[in-house]
Structure 1
Amino acid sequence: MSPPVQIRRVDPFDTVEHNQWWQAYAEAKRADMGENALIWTLEESRAEMQQRSENTERRTYVAVLDGAVVGGGSLALSLKDNLRSAAVGVTVPLAHRRRGVGSALLAHIEAEAATADRTILRAETAWPASAPDDGAGQPGIEFARRHGYTLALSDLQNRLELPVDDAIIDELLAEAPAEGYAIRSWVGPVPDEIVAEWAALDAVLDTEAPTGELDIEAASADVADYRADEQMQALQGRTSFGTVALTSDGRVAAYTQLVVSGDDGNAYQWGTLVRREDRGHRLGLRVKLENLRMLQRHSPETPRIYTYNAASNAHMLAVNTRLGFRPTGRLGELQKKADRPRAPRPGARA
Structure 2
Amino acid sequence: MTSPLQIRRVDPFDTAEHNLWWRTYAEANRADMGENALIWTLEESRTEMQQRSATTARRTYVALRDGAVLGGGSLALSLKDNVHSATVGVTVPPAHRRQGIGSALLAHVEAEAAAAGRSTLRAETAWPASAPADGNGEPGIEFARRHGYALALGDLQNRLELPVDDAVIDELLVDASGDGYETHSWIGPVPAEHVAEWAALDALLDIEAPTGELDIEAPSADVEDYRADEAMQAAQGRRSFGTVALAPGGRIAAYTQLVVSGDDGNAYQWGTLVRREDRGHRLGMRVKLENLRMLQRHSPGTPRIYTYNAESNAHMLAVNTRLGFQTTGRLGELQKRIG
Tell me the TM-score normalized by structure 2: 0.99
| 1:3 aligned partner | 3
Letter in 1 for 2:226: Y
Q: Distance in 2 between matches of 1:320 and 1:182?
A: 22
Aligned match of 1:29: 29
Measured in 2, the distance between the counterparts of 1:196 and 1:98 equals 48
Give the RMSD, CA atoms, in angstroms: 0.7
Within a 5 Å distance, the mapping from 1:263-302 to structure 2 comes to 263-302=263-302
Mean Cα deviation higher: 79-88 or 164-173:
164-173
Q: Distance in 2 between matches of 1:4 and 1:184?
A: 58
Which one-letter code corresponds to 2:223 in the other structure?
Answer: V
CA distance in 1, matches of 2:233, 2:176: 31
- What is the CA-CA distance between 1:178 and the residue it aligns to? 1.1
Deviation at 1:157, TM superposition (A): 0.5
1-side partners of 2:77 and 2:62: how far apart?
Answer: 18
The letter for the 2-side match of 1:185 is S
The residue aligned with 1:342 is: none
Q: 1:315 Cα deviation (Å)? A: 1.7
Match of residue 150 from structure 2:
150
- Tell me how far 1:128 sits from its aligned partner: 0.5
Residue 180 of structure 1 is matched in structure 2 by 180
Q: Write the deviation string for residues 2-33 of structure 1: whole angstroms up to 9, x where unpaired.
A: 33221100000000000000000000001101
Q: Give per-residue Cα distances to partners, 1:166-225, cap 9 Å, x unaligned.
A: 111111111111111110000000000110000000001010001111111001000000
* 1-structure distance, mates of 2:213, 2:58: 25
Q: Report the residue type matching 1:16 in the other structure.
A: A
SS of structure 2 residue aligned to 1:190: coil
- 1:186-335 correspondence to structure 2 within 5 Å: 186-335=186-335
Distance of 1:173 and 1:290 partners within structure 2: 9
Partners of 1:297 and 1:67 in 2: CA distance: 49
Equivalent-residue separation in structure 1 for 2:2 and 2:157 (angstroms): 39
The CA distance in 2 between the partners of 1:272 and 1:323, in whole Å, is 14
Structure 2 counterpart SS, 1:265: coil
> Aligned to 1:318, what secondary structure does the other structure show?
helix
Query: Which consecutive unaligned segments of at least 5 residues does structure 1 have?
Result: 340-350
State the Cα distance separating 1:66 from its structure 2 match: 2.1
Distance in 2, matches of 1:12 and 1:87, equals: 18
Aligned position for 2:132? 132
1:281 Cα deviation from its structure 2 partner? 1.0
The one-letter code matched in structure 2 to 1:48 is: E
**Secondary structure of 1:143's partner?**
helix
Q: Distance in 2 between matches of 1:268 and 1:190?
A: 17
Partner of 1:346: none
Q: Work out the CA distance in 1 between the residues paired with 2:120 and 2:205.
A: 19
User: What is the CA deviation profile of residues 90-109 of structure 1, one whole-angstrom value per residue up to 9, with x for unaligned ones?
Assistant: 00011110111100000000
Determine helix, strand or coil for the equivalent of 1:7: strand
Q: How many residues align?
A: 339
How far has the Cα of 1:243 moved from its partner? 0.2
CA distance in 2, matches of 1:155, 1:66: 39
Structure 2 Cα separation of the partners of residues 275 and 321 of structure 1: 22
Structure 1 residue 322 displacement after superposition: 1.8
Deviations 1:214-265 (A, max 9, x none): 1110010000000000000000000000000111121111100000000010
For residues 250-305 of structure 1, the C-alpha deviation after alignment (integer angstroms, 9 at most, x for no partner) is: 11111000000000100000000011111111111110000000000111110000
Show structure 2 runs of 5+ residues with no match.
Answer: none
The equivalent of 1:107 in structure 2 is 107
| 2:54 alignment counterpart | 54
The one-letter code of the counterpart of 2:104 is A
- Distance in 1 between the 2:314 and 2:53 partners? 36
Letter of the 1:224 counterpart: E
Q: Which amino acid aligns with 1:147?
A: H
Q: Which residue of the partner structure matches residue 98 of structure 1?
A: 98
Stretch of structure 1 that moved more, 276-285 or 17-26: 276-285
